[in-house]
């Protein structure tokens, strides 16, 4: 293609930057622009070679996207390029092909629900192979104590990254199609939204990204002069394939690498087709890269659900809540209140992007368009709204299925107790309820469109977001930590969040049950130096802004017999009720303790709950907290060291003094 009649003759405006303010006339700038178009276009076309465009019109794409695609196609050498438009028609074609190939099967009991099994070696996020790449090590990780491995962020130098990329990506898409996925995180064109373009050779990723993000042609229009996050993903198994492909799920578990280049707003993922490793809009973009963008632009990208809670009086309050993986964030986001007259509506279940508005309030959007929830444990008892959400148009990964075309996983025993179903487990073997082992992988997932959630909030796609009044942090804490406490101030809240801990989960590689630090529930997703991240939080508070109150909750405290002291699930509304009455300034609700304000006896609505061991549930045991204070100090000294902001150190000193005087 050439000449002024080219359908898309415009160049990346940044190419003209050196010529701006040089006194060049409009006409000569136009001439330069035309010349640049030909030069760039020629390079792009040379790079593309004779690669067939299997779908879409390459020449209609913005020039900077053309350049990105051409450069990466030259590197990865796919058999052709498929530009996705995100339509149902496109998805149907891909689904049809995958069913023929045996990679996907329809769950016949539902409308448009599909099941897929991965290679059993590719079942979870791989934290140990996830890297942040910056010139300076301490842009990524804190200046930890001598010999201490940083647990927040994994640093790799650009030089090492080059070596790692060179040994993986050249030719990695040989014989495969390279899909180009334009996607928006947040409502398309919204002031808080951002755009990404993912290149991938996995059609499962294409289908899942369509559920989890907004994929459509209007993303190209919204891009305009904005930048986009470059996402490059390959399953890492060029054709002809030398090893056996298990379950028609190509992957390369030995060579997995997930690398982020924050300054370049770029993500490279190799070897895994699973969840957080391959759906790059989620953890990689919306948390690790976005937290860098947020730092630069003065906002926050957090691992938080967003919920709207309406009280019996009709007033609605929006709350954001951060919990480490597998603490029931999706369940809380879709809570069915057990107290009469209350209503909860879900804005998001995993990630919140939040920015202070002109009015001084903090506004949050959910950048995602779907839920990628853990299947086991999700049932009509624990989360009926999630169950309703995934009755159609959903993708299930590594769950079991019944011979009558229904999904099955641990936690659904009750629903199936009279049916005695024949089950095919996640490994494709025959299985019966009561057989040894599990039917579904513990990290098996559903991916379902958020719009299908019966309690999705009418404003969940509001471009400006919803105003947040409270931020809750929580974790699985079997001992010592009360059901709820309010922190004394923004700074004390930041310190409390920095001390967040939880029992480990199936979503990550960690085995066994031990309580691990997970500051801000961001440990696996930290995009830059955690000390700088803390300072960023502190700096967000200004005189003109109404910072939300910060709370800590623990639904998981156990008694001496190992039984949970709190029923959780829909009864968590009782804690939210207490929080909202605190926000309202209602008197006599709290008792001051060394760690914050806990509920005064009788201040939490316990009607109809039966026997709750209040004292055990709310106590702040001196011995436990004295140990904890020492441990937290050692942790922050070792892990954050000189990068710890003085305000946080002050909070730590003050809290320790209070605890030691207990």
Q: Does 230 bind ligand O2Y (CB under 6 A)?
A: no
Using CB under 6 A, pick the residue from 443, 502, 529, 655 that binds ligand O2Y: 443
Number of shown-chain residues binding ligand O2Y (CB under 6 A): 11
Q: Which does 274 bind (CB under 5 to 8 A by kind): Mn ion, ligand O2Y, none?
A: ligand O2Y
Beta bridge partners of 317: 309
Nearer to ligand O2Y, 144 or 397 (CB): 397
- Between 123 and 152, how does the x/- string for binding to ligand O2Y read (CB under 6 A)? -xx---------------------------
What is the distance between the alpha carbons of residues 459 and 443, in angstroms, rounded to a whole number?
30
Can 327 be counted among the known catalytic residues?
yes
Please choose, out of 206-214, 220-228, 344-352, 452-460, the segment that lies near Mn ion by the rule CB under 5 A: 344-352
Q: Which does 393 bind (CB under 5 to 8 A by kind): ligand O2Y, Mn ion, none?
A: none
Q: Does 275 bind ligand O2Y (CB under 6 A)?
A: yes
Residue nearest to ligand O2Y (CB): 275
Q: Are 450 and 460 in contact (CB under 8 A)?
A: yes
Q: Which does 177 bind (CB under 5 to 8 A by kind): Mn ion, ligand O2Y, none?
A: none
Number of Cβ atoms within 10 Å of the Cβ of 291: 24
What is the distance between the alpha carbons of residues 363 and 138, in angstroms, rounded to a whole number?
30
User: Which class for 175: exposed (0-12), middle (13-18), buried (19 or more C-beta within 10 A)?
Assistant: middle
Q: Are 353 and 290 in contact (CB under 8 A)?
A: yes
Look at residues 584, 586, 614, 595 and name the one whose alpha carbon lies nearest to residue 485.
595
Nearer to Mn ion, 122 or 350 (CB): 350
Tell me if residue 123 falls in helix, strand or coil.
coil
Which residue bears the tokens 């999705």?
Answer: 456
Q: Does 401 bind Mn ion (CB under 5 A)?
A: no
Tell me if residue 3 falls in helix, strand or coil.
coil
Least distance between ligand O2Y and beta carbon 443 (Å) = 5
Least distance between ligand O2Y and beta carbon 373 (Å) = 7
Q: Are 477 and 501 in contact (CB under 8 A)?
A: yes
> What does the block give as tokens for 523?
């440990």
Tell me if residue 79 falls in helix, strand or coil.
coil
Number of shown-chain residues binding Mn ion (CB under 5 A): 1
Q: Does 302 bind Mn ion (CB under 5 A)?
A: no
Tell me if residue 143 falls in helix, strand or coil.
coil
> What does the block give as tokens for 274?
């699973």
Q: Does 276 bind ligand O2Y (CB under 6 A)?
A: yes
Q: Does 523 bind ligand O2Y (CB under 6 A)?
A: no
Q: Does 372 bind ligand O2Y (CB under 6 A)?
A: yes
- Listed in sequence order, the DSSP H helices in 145-202 are 158-166
Q: Which does 124 bind (CB under 5 to 8 A by kind): ligand O2Y, Mn ion, none?
A: ligand O2Y
What is the distance between the alpha carbons of residues 105 and 645, in angstroms, rounded to a whole number?
52
Q: What is the DSSP string of 354-391?
A: EEE-TTS-EEEE---SEEEEE-TT-STTT-HHHHHHTT
Report the site for Mn ion in 347-386 (rule: CB under 5 A). 350
| Per-residue DSSP letter, 564 | B
Phi, psi of 481 (to 5 degrees): -105, 125
Please choose, out of 52-60, 342-350, 397-405, 535-543, the segment that lies near Mn ion by the rule CB under 5 A: 342-350
What is the distance between the alpha carbons of residues 356 and 505, in angstroms, rounded to a whole number?
33
What is the distance between the alpha carbons of residues 81 and 79, in angstroms, rounded to a whole number?
7
Please choose, out of 153-161, 272-280, 312-320, 422-430, the segment that lies near ligand O2Y by the rule CB under 6 A: 272-280
Nearer to ligand O2Y, 124 or 280 (CB): 124
Least distance between ligand O2Y and beta carbon 507 (Å) = 4
What is the distance between the alpha carbons of residues 661 and 592, in angstroms, rounded to a whole number?
14
Q: Which does 477 bind (CB under 5 to 8 A by kind): Mn ion, ligand O2Y, none?
A: none
What is the distance between the alpha carbons of residues 309 and 319, in angstroms, rounded to a whole number?
8
Q: Are 284 and 269 in contact (CB under 8 A)?
A: yes
**CA triple 394-395-401, angle to 5 deg:** 105
- Listed in sequence order, the DSSP H helices in 528-661 are 530-540, 573-583, 614-618, 622-639, 646-660
Q: Does 447 bind ligand O2Y (CB under 6 A)?
A: no
Nearer to ligand O2Y, 374 or 424 (CB): 374
Report the site for ligand O2Y in 298-357 (rule: CB under 6 A). 325, 350
Least distance between Mn ion and beta carbon 319 (Å) = 17
Q: Does 531 bind ligand O2Y (CB under 6 A)?
A: no
Least distance between Mn ion and beta carbon 324 (Å) = 8
- Between 373 and 412, how does the x/- string for binding to ligand O2Y read (CB under 6 A)? ----------------------------------------
Least distance between ligand O2Y and beta carbon 282 (Å) = 7
Considering 142, 216, 327, 346, which one is annotated as catalytic?
Answer: 327
Please choose, out of 273-281, 411-419, 433-441, 527-535, the segment that lies near ligand O2Y by the rule CB under 6 A: 273-281
Q: Which does 276 bind (CB under 5 to 8 A by kind): ligand O2Y, Mn ion, none?
A: ligand O2Y
Please choose, out of 179-187, 269-277, 398-406, 623-631, the segment that lies near ligand O2Y by the rule CB under 6 A: 269-277
Tell me if residue 17 falls in helix, strand or coil.
helix
Q: Does 274 bind ligand O2Y (CB under 6 A)?
A: yes
Longest CA pairwise span in the chain (Å): 82
Q: How far apart are the first and last CA of the chain?
A: 78
Q: Does 581 bind ligand O2Y (CB under 6 A)?
A: no
Point out which residues bind Mn ion (CB under 5 A).
350
Residues known to be catalytic: 327
Point out which residues bind ligand O2Y (CB under 6 A).
124-125, 274-277, 325, 350, 372, 443, 507
């Amino acid at each position: 293609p050439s000449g002024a009649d080219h359908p898309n003759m415009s160049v990346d405006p940044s190419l003209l930057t050196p010529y701006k303010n040089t006194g060049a006339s409009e006409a000569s700038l136009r001439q330069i622009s035309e010349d640049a178009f030909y030069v760039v276009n020629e390079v792009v076309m040379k790079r593309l070679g004779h690669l067939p465009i299997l779908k879409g019109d390459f020449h209609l794409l913005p020039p900077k996207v053309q350049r990105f695609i051409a450069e990466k196609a030259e590197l990865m050498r796919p058999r052709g390029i498929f530009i996705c438009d995100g339509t149902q028609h496109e998805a149907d074609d891909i689904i049809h092909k995958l069913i023929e190939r045996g990679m996907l099967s329809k769950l016949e009991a539902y409308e448009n629900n599909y099941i897929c099994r991965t290679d059993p070696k590719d079942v979870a996020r791989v934290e140990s192979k996830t890297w942040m790449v910056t010139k300076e090590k301490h842009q990524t990780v804190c200046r930890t104590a001598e010999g201490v491995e940083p647990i927040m962020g994994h640093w790799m130098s650009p030089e090492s990254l080059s070596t790692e990329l060179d040994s993986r990506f050249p030719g990695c898409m040989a014989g495969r199609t390279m899909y180009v996925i334009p996607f928006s995180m947040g409502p398309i064109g919204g002031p808080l939204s951002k755009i990404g373009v993912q290149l991938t050779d996995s059609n499962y990723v294409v289908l899942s990204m369509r559920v989890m993000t907004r994929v459509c042609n209007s993303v190209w229009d919204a891009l305009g002069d904005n930048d986009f996050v470059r996402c490059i993903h390959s399953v890492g198994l060029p054709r002809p394939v030398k090893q056996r492909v298990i379950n028609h799920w190509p992957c390369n578990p030995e060579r997995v690498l997930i690398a982020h280049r924050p300054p370049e707003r770029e993500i490279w993922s190799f070897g895994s087709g699973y969840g957080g490793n391959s759906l790059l809009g989620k953890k990689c973009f919306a948390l690790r890269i976005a937290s860098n963008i947020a730092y630069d632009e003065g906002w926050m990208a957090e691992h938080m659900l967003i919920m709207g809670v309406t009280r019996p009086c009709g007033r609605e309050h929006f709350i954001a809540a951060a919990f480490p993986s597998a603490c029931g964030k999706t369940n809380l986001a879709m809570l069915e209140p057990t107290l009469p007259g209350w209503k909860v509506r879900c804005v998001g279940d995993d990630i919140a992007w939040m920015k202070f508005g002109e009015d001084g309030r903090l506004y949050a959007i959910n950048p995602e368009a779907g839920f990628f929830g853990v299947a086991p444990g999700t049932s009509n008892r624990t989360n009926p709204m999630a169950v309703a959400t995934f009755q159609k148009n959903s993708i299930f990964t590594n769950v079991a299925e019944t011979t009558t075309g229904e999904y099955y996983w641990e936690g659904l025993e009750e629903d199936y107790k009279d049916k005695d179903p024949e089950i095919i487990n996640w490994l494709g073997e025959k299985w019966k309820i009561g057989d040894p082992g599990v039917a579904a992988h513990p990290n098996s997932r559903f991916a379902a469109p958020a719009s299908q959630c019966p309690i999705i909030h009418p404003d969940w796609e509001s471009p400006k977001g919803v105003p947040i009044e409270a931020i809750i942090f929580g974790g699985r804490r079997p001992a010592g930590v009360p059901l709820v406490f309010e922190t004394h101030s923004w700074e004390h809240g930041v310190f409390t969040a920095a001390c967040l801990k939880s029992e480990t989960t199936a979503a990550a590689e960690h085995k066994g049950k031990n309580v691990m630090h997970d500051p801000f529930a961001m440990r696996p997703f930290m995009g830059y130096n955690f000390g700088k991240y803390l300072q960023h939080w502190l700096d967000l508070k200004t005189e003109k802004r109404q910072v939300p109150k910060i709370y800590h909750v623990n639904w998981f405290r156990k008694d001496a017999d190992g039984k949970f002291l709190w029923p959780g699930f829909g009864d968590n509304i009782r804690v939210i009720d207490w929080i909202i009455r605190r926000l309202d300034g209602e008197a006599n609700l709290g008792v001051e303790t060394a760690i914050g304000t806990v509920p005064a006896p009788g201040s939490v609505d316990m009607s109809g709950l039966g026997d709750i061991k209040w004292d055990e549930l709310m106590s702040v045991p001196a011995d436990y907290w004295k140990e904890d204070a020492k441990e937290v100090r050692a942790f922050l000294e070792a892990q954050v060291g000189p990068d710890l902001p003085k305000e946080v150190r002050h909070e730590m000193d003050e809290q320790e003094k209070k605890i030691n005087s207990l």
